[in-house]
Amino acid sequence: MSIAIKMPALSPTMEEGTLAKWLVKVGDKVASGDIMAEIETDKATMEFEAVDEGVIADIAVPEGTEGVKVGAVIATLAEEGEDPADVKPAAGDSPAPAAAQKEEAAPAPAPAASAAPSPAPAPAAAPAATGDRVIASPLARRIAADKGVDLAAVKGSGPNGRIVKADVESAQPGAASAAAPASAAAPSAAPAPAPVQAQDFGIPHEEEKLSGMRKTIARRLSESKQQVPHIYLTVDIRLDALLKLRGELNVALEPQGVKLSVNDMLIKALAKALVAVPACNVQFAGDKLLKFTRADVSVAVSIPSGLITPIVKDAGSKAISAISTEMKDLAARARDGKLAPEEYQGGTASLSNMGMYGIKQFEAIINPPQAMIMAIGAGEKRPYVVEDSLQIATVMSATGSFDHRAIDGADGAALMKAFKDICEAPLGLVA
């Protein structure tokens, strides 16, 4: 019997993707674990592996097709003993690729909250099991064993709910079963606002179609400003000691080919401040508060298609040199669209630095479901009172945005003070 190959959900929030490239063609034989295609999500380009053996009998979605809904049939596989020429293309039971559909006059920006009923993407199926046996690809089983992931708690996106590589990579060790209740407790999304009607007023212009990433950024940040009560707290930080330490460390690390940036040091400073003020290392989850025991710092990285926040995990316990090396790798792969979901999904707080653009101060929008983000301005020479005398110092303004549902103003102020103290007495960063 032929097997329908469907568009997988390569991340928990994925609803559609772009079939960037086919690595197989009709007539090719594939085995479980073989890479069949490259699929672009709203954040990265990921490989899609085969979960069954057989011969490609039909490719329903050509490469380059955008807006392919999760669950849509993209190809058909002939099993052993079947003649691929006799196999009929599998019938799709989910929406056709959006690129092939007639564009609506005024689409709602958030599919889940659209006023008009529309076919919903096929949900990720629960793991298919026979008795106590969980159905998973061999590669997924190996990755699960390495990561310590319980396959019984992972939802499979492959045929018949089979667990594939992407499902396991996006799961957290020992936390997959807890993910569902936490997300269920989150507040429901606000109704989608009325679509914005274009008004060019006869001004010469060009139209540029929004990328999947830009659509996601627009939706998530709109939801954050609408649903999260922000409180903003700003401190001025004298950077002279930190800059002096950075220079000394770079001389010492030069033989290793490591060059620290100020941002690398600020990442660790924020992580240590979060550990010192655990009341800010939290997440609001409806009727509960998640209190994290380590600081995973998401760092805003600008890429051509938008913005992504790769994560430096447990940044407080890492050497600054390790953070620097890791950030260079994460940023490079972010720009190439090669980050895995677990490298940009999660994090306990964020850091956004616009100092390199000469921005003195700004207020960042919280990256949901996190509860705080630190906005870093430029370090600049300013008149500054040092030991009761007016001097010239290198000063930076930092503004913390806090989710007031989870973090009180006094706790936010304690975090800002801890961050300032660490930056102004930076030897603690190398302790």
Is 404 one of the annotated active-site residues of the chain? yes
For 107, 111, 209, 215, the CA distances from 198, given in Å and listed in that order, are 12, 20, 13, 16
Q: Which residues pair with 297 in a beta bridge?
A: 312, 349
Tokens of 32: 């479980």
Strand, helix or coil at 393? strand
Q: Cα torsion for 242, 244, 246, 248, to the nearest 10°?
A: -150
- Among the residues of 277-370, which ranges form H helices? 320-335
For 32, 43, 64, 232, the CA distances from 112, given in Å and listed in that order, are 33, 19, 25, 30
- E strands, 273-314, in order: 282-285, 288-291, 297-299, 301-303, 306-308, 311-312
Of 16, 419, 430, 12, the C-alpha closest to 238 is 419
Tokens of 344: 């940009």
How many whole angstroms separate alpha carbon 279 and alpha carbon 402?
11
Q: Are 78 and 47 in contact (CB under 8 A)?
A: no
Give the H or E element holding residue 5. strand 3-6
Chain CA centroid to CA 211, Å: 16
User: Among residues 230, 259, 404, 417, which one is catalytic?
Assistant: 404
How many whole angstroms separate alpha carbon 366 and alpha carbon 351?
10
Strand, helix or coil at 317? helix
- Known catalytic residues are 404
